[in-house]
Structure 1
């Protein structure tokens, strides 16, 4: 009966392990990263009893995870992709919200040019002039506000980068510590399932921040690298990443590996890689495009304003002001050269940033993305380097081989824009010339448009008398007769005048410099037309269209980001479903197992009870 008792006890103990495992599964049904565990049983070696063997019961030999390395790594990969897509869509949405917010730049542009048109209808009216300055201030505030919002998003990316690096370092340290614990646990002869789950969960969390590559050694420890192969965890050692200011722009953070090497461009998937890609592919182009529009408006409006005459009879000055392109020295420079850049041709101005490098003899220029940019000039003050509408000079200092500079032609231009005029009398609404019709004219010819074609003509300001010698001929300042037909345009020194109707002999028209407070609206009309004037892309793009391009650019990026997010979420859901079908805790299955082990436990107890009853009966018979 001792063998029957031992058999019953073995079944009792085996069932108890099974019950404990099921209970552990049920308790951890909501634990993130938990892998379902199962108990493996083996029959004990039987005892030979004459011509047959008698079984000796069962043992619980192991508790194993329902685990697939392939499915788990698929989840890690899908995690990285989904986290990247989520971060990219979220950050892109913030730019979309800024562009389409209440301070809409298109509305401000429409309001400003509407005020210019109102001024053309009442060129000497103080209220119209004051309204124009007010609308100009609103427009500038909108440019600056949108630029400020972009700058805040840029600062947000810095915070995201800093937080991500902290998370990477913390998780790497946890994985390294778990590596050591797991190695020691395996030395005891069994797999530490819960420690393995904890390590997998830490890797899963790491994969959300940055793409991971995991390999497992024969010592049961894992090696983890991130991005394009940057080692992060090797056994019980964890590499510490850090952040540092960009070598050119100190307002921006980069991720730095061991030895100070910048690895920002090597981080691949995950939320951190998405943050850098967003900054490069969405935020920077949006900021540059906004600044490009501000420069275009400033340049075109100022050029036209300079051709007019204000109420004091003076030539128009700058209506807007805007800063020059920003130039940043590399922190690695050893020379003391100073570099400056100015915009020379807005029509050729693009939206790229540039890196200028010195090799000890010559300068070379590439875009920030590394594309070589054709250039002319040596960089000397009298021979600037010319690229894409920019003139770059090295007015002082001496560069050394390896020195480099970053040039941002448009990045922060919108934030430097301001209205240069506060005195309403300084608005140059009048054209530089005025055309008048003599009061004694008897014909039906009337004045049409007086258009300035070349303000630099040496005789531009010379007064001109146009006298008709007949309905079909006229002289200019007593010169040779010229023919005329109804609707013809008369050409002067840097201007053209259109007449309509039939003049009479001796009818006279005069073109001369406009006097102060003349009431002429020629330049105001030309200023209003700046809204429709091609300024950028060699005259193909207006200021308004440039802003529309910004909206389309950001909107397209947002739509693509949302599409990518939907696709990556589907991939993650599929990977999770496959992994959970094997490793997840199914409460119905665990309930069935619980009942099965309860019944086995109770049956084993009955075996022990039967062995005890038989033994007591035997002892009673012997004593009798």
Structure 2
């Protein structure tokens, strides 16, 4: 009996000593990131005559861990979004200040109004040109800042994809060690902690789904189901970054035309998956960087390009509106397209017999524009865009338009009208014409400063050698990136009198041109593209240049505030998930101290049994 008691007490001491050591380890790692509280589960020996050290487990709440990873990915996404949105908002300046976008635009319009008050003043003319130059510099500076942000995200993506690939390889390596380890070894719990910590860190970069395997390993999958880790094998991630980005550098599914990098996963079997094209990454900082680079900042660039295009064409174009016409039972419009240049879109409103309406955009070209032309690069992304070759001059306008419109339309010159005037008719019972309009650029070149009292190419495209901006598609869209290329016409800067003189015989005090230029910015309604996001998802925005500028600033401020609010909410959610996980799986020093007291009591009890057994043996030996 004494020998049994001796064995039982000895086993009890060993288990208690191991448990005390585990409590000490828990307390020592109470502040260690990723450490999960350890527990010891003793097991009964054969015949229930004692205990033995069993498995060392971790107090892990799988549900709270899953939620923690989900919120970690979400917080990384909203955090980066809020940061970049704030940086983008700062590029526009503080609204209402002199150096902000609205401030320089208001100063420019005021300078034109002052010039209209005293057109003979050389100082007023110089001030107006200087204010115009400030507008161009401000718009181009903001646009360049947008591309700098995109380039920074491109670089960040390369770094984070590399880090994520390293973490995948680490998880796979830990899988191999855990699958072959004994669950009773303390080192196994350490390996599990290391793997969980690696997955938690990985969740900051991309959202992953974790699946437990029977051998103790885990598999990692993307939200779309692509396998990144399977037991001891991991996919490698790569990013083919393009360095400094331009406005023309955008994401496309075609590797040959793609101007930015993409994230590619290469499986152990050698298969390659484009994780961006497949939408496999939906949260985390990598998904946020891709979204910001390819959507948010591209739209910001488009807003600036539309603003630059509107600013230029408001001052250089004449509006051409169709007037109702009919002949031989057909009805439609006469429209004067005299002076039409490549890029001066002619918009026709059409409605079929079912009453469904749509815009038909005739895009004048000189034969070097892409065919088809992407409607997303026009004002209306839902329109049907039809290129029209006008290289033959005004006398050919009617014939060329008739060719591209085809049957169902009757196109001719306007009887008694100018060579460029066109009559477009259709059968209203089959396909009714509901409207016709165009914006015709009057100056044929930047040097043509005497094109008329209401038109002046004050702003030009520095990227085409200072040419007049018409919205042309020759060799690609001239609108894309125009904000960076916006510049004041050198001919106007060299002779500020052109701000007033619109003809060889203009009187020195003539206010016609200054008033027309000021009205073009503050009173003339232009159509700005739906792609800018100001008028809605698919609705063009009708506004003055000054009104559109304010709308851009308002939209930018609202987007930044919304991103900040989303991030604040997500950070609260992350904090709650961390608190819940810490409460369930973290170390409570008070709880461990209480457990230590219990173990010390048990240790003392076993020691007393051991002492009693020894005394009994001594007594028996002396008999």
Identify the range of structure 1 (536-545 vs 269-278) with the bigger mean alpha-carbon deviation: 536-545
**More deviation, 604-613/294-303:** 604-613
Residue aligning to 1:44: 45
Shift of 1:429: 0.8
Runs of 4+ in 1 over 6 A off after TM superposition: 187-191, 368-372, 378-395
Contact residue 44 and residue 57 of structure 1 kept, 8 A = yes
- The within-5 A match list for 1:155-554 is 155-186=151-182, 192-244=188-240, 245=242, 246=251, 247=255, 252-258=260-266, 261-265=273-277, 266=279, 267-303=281-317, 343-345=343-345, 363=372, 365=374, 367=376, 373-377=383-387, 410-420=479-489, 421-430=492-501, 432=503, 515=505, 518-537=508-527, 540-554=542-556
Which residue matches 1:557? 559
Q: Secondary structure at the match of 1:264?
A: coil
Deviates more, 1:385-394 or 1:281-290: 385-394
Q: Is the alpha carbon distance of 1:188 and 1:8 closer, same or farther for their aligned partners in structure 2, counting shifts above 3 Å?
A: closer
CA distance in 2, matches of 1:408, 1:21: 69
181-190 vs 120-129, which deviates more? Answer: 181-190
- 20-29 vs 573-582, which moves further: 573-582
Separation in structure 2 between the aligned mates of residue 364 and residue 568 of structure 1, nearest angstrom? 41
Q: Tell me, yes or no, if the aligned pair for 2:54 and 2:184 is still in contact at 8 Å.
A: no
Contact 1:295 1:346 in 2 (8 A): no
Name the CA distance, whole Å, in 2 between partners of 1:612 and 1:342: 108
Number of the residue aligned with 1:596: 598
- Following superposition, the deviation at residue 428 of structure 1 comes to 3.5
Cα displacement (A) at 1:131: 1.7
CA pair 293-223 structure 1, distance change in 2 beyond 3 A: same
Query: Tell me, what secondary structure is at the counterpart of 1:214?
Result: strand
Given that 1:363 and 1:378 are in contact with CA atoms closer than 8 Å, whether structure 2 keeps it comes out as no
**Change in CA separation of 1:128 and 1:249 when aligned onto 2, cut-off 3 Å:** farther
Distance 1:368 1:143, change over 3 A: closer
SS at match of 2:54: strand
What is the CA–CA distance in structure 2 between the aligned matches of 1:590 and 1:516, rounded to whole Å? 94
Instruction: Report deviation, 1:602.
Output: 2.6
Secondary structure of the structure 1 residue equivalent to 2:55: strand
| Contact 2:343–2:473 (CA under 8 A) maintained in structure 1 | no
Cα deviation per residue 1:118-143 (whole Å; 9 max; x = unaligned)? 22222222222222222222111111
Contact 1:182 1:196 in 2 (8 A): yes
Check the 8 A contact 1:129/1:424 in 2, yes or no.
Answer: no
**Distance change in 2, residues 1:414/1:366 (3 Å):** closer
1:100 alignment partner in structure 2: 93
**3-state secondary structure, aligned to 1:377:** strand
Which whole-Å CA distance do the structure 1 matches of 2:589 and 2:193 have between them? Answer: 19
1 CA distance for matches of 2:86 and 2:342? 33
Residue ranges of structure 2 left out of the alignment (5+ in a row)? 243-250, 319-340, 349-358, 360-369, 393-399, 406-436, 440-469, 529-540
**Alignment counterpart, residue 578 of structure 1, candidates 560, 577, 580:** 580
Give the Cα–Cα distance (whole angstroms) in 2 for the partners of residues 381 and 521 of structure 1: 36
Contact 1:347 1:537 survives alignment (8 Å)? no
CA-based RMSD of the aligned residues comes to: 3.5
SS in 1 for 2:211: strand
Shift of 1:372: 6.3
Distance 1:293 1:199, change over 3 A: same
Whole-Å Cα distance in 2 between the matches of residues 251 and 615 of structure 1?
Answer: 87
Residues in 1 aligned to 2:438 and 2:175: alpha-carbon distance in whole angstroms? 55
Distance 1:77 1:583 in 2: 17
Deviation track 1:428-471 (CA, whole Å, cap 9, x = no partner) reads 41465xxxxxxxxxxxxxxxxxxxxxxxxxxxxxxxxxxxxxxx
CA distance in 2 between counterparts of 1:255 and 1:28 reads 37
2:56–2:184 contact (8 Å) kept in structure 1: no
Give the TM-score, by structure 2 length. 0.69
- Residue 95 of structure 1 and its aligned partner are, at CA, apart by 1.2
Answer yes or no: is 1:7 the counterpart of 2:8.
yes
Q: TM-score, normalised by structure 1?
A: 0.69
Q: Which residue of 2 aligns with 1:440?
A: none
Q: After TM superposition, give the deviation of residue 175 of structure 1 in Å.
A: 0.5
Task: Answer with 1 or 2: which has the greater Rg.
Answer: 1
**Is 2:126–2:496's contact at 8 Å kept on the other side of the alignment?**
no
The residue matched to 1:422 in structure 2 has which SS?
helix
Distance of 2:598 and 2:78 partners within structure 1: 45
